[in-house]
Structure 1
Amino acid sequence: MNLLAHLWLAERTDTSAAGQILGDIVKGRIDAPRFDARTDEGIRLHRAIDSTSDAHPAHRELRERFRSPLRRYAGIIVDIGFDHALARRWPDYSAEPFAVFARRIAARVAAEWPNDAPAGPPDVQGFAGMLSGYADARGIERALTAVGRRATRRNPLAAALPALLAEYPGFVERLPRLLTRLEAEMLSRTRA
Structure 2
Amino acid sequence: MNLLVHLYLAERTGTSAAGQILGDMVKGRLDGRHGAAVERGIRLHRGIDRVSDDHEAHRAMRRRFPPPLRRYAGILVDIGFDYSLARAWPAAMHGSLVAFAQRAQRRVIAEWPQTAPLPASRMRGLAATLAGYADPSGIQRALDSVASRLARASPVADALPAMLAERPAFDARLPDILADLDAFAAAGANESVWRPARPAER
TM-score for both structures, normalised by structure 1? 0.95
Q: What is the CA–CA distance in structure 2 between the aligned matches of 1:186 and 1:153, rounded to whole Å?
A: 34
TM-superposed CA distance for 1:34, in Å, is 2.8
CA-to-partner distance for each residue in 1:29-48, whole Å, 9 max, x for gaps?
22x22310010111111010
Please report the RMSD computed on the Cα atoms of aligned residues, expressed in angstroms. Answer: 1.5
Q: How does 1:166-181 map to 2 (within 5 A)?
A: 166-181=165-180
In structure 2, the residue matched to 1:182 is 181
The one-letter code sitting in structure 2 at the alignment partner of 1:101 is F
Find the counterpart in structure 2 of residue 145 from structure 1: 144
Residues 172-191 of structure 1, C-alpha deviation per residue, up to 9 Å, x if partnerless?
11111111111111111268
Aligned residue for 1:15?
15
Contact 2:80–2:170 (CA<8 Å) still a contact in 1? yes
Q: Which residue of 1 aligns with 2:36?
A: 37
Counterpart residue number, 2:110 = 111
Q: Is the partner of 2:102 in helix, strand or coil? A: helix
What is the match of residue 162 of structure 1? 161
Contact 2:18 2:108 (C-alpha < 8 Å) held by counterparts: yes
Change in CA separation of 1:122 and 1:173 when aligned onto 2, cut-off 3 Å: farther
Return the offset for 1:151.
Answer: 1.5
Partners of 2:65 and 2:73 within 8 A in 1: yes
For the 8 Å contact 2:86–2:131, the answer to whether it is kept is: yes
Structure 1 position 122, deviation (Å):
4.7
Instruction: For 2:183, give the aligned amino acid.
Output: A
Residue in 2 that maps onto 1:57: 56
Q: Output the CA distance in 2 between the equivalents of 1:125 and 1:43.
A: 20
Equivalent residues, number: 191
Cα deviations by residue, 1:149-180 (Å, 9 ceiling, x for unpaired): 11122211100000011001111111111111
Question: 1:103, 1:124 within 8 Å by CA — same for their partners in 2?
Answer: no
Residue 111 of structure 1 aligns with an amino acid whose one-letter code is: A
**Share of identical aligned residues, percent?**
55
Mean Cα displacement is larger for which, 122-131 or 107-116? 122-131
In structure 2, what is the Cα distance between the partners aligned to 1:12 and 1:88? 18
Name 1:3's counterpart in structure 2: 3
User: Structure 1: where are the runs of 5+ without partners?
Assistant: none
Structure 2, gaps ≥5 residues long: 194-202
Corresponding position of 1:47: 46
- 2:25 is matched with which residue? 25
Amino acid at match of 1:23: G
| d(CA) in 2 for partners of 1:114, 1:125 | 15
Q: CA deviation at 1:96?
A: 1.2
Matched-pair contact (CA < 8 Å) for 1:107–1:124: no
**Contact 2:48 2:189 (C-alpha < 8 Å) held by counterparts:** no
TM-score (normalizing by structure 2): 0.90
Structure 2 contact 55–177 (Cα < 8 Å) conserved: yes
Offset, 1:95: 2.7
Distance 1:152 1:88, change over 3 A: same
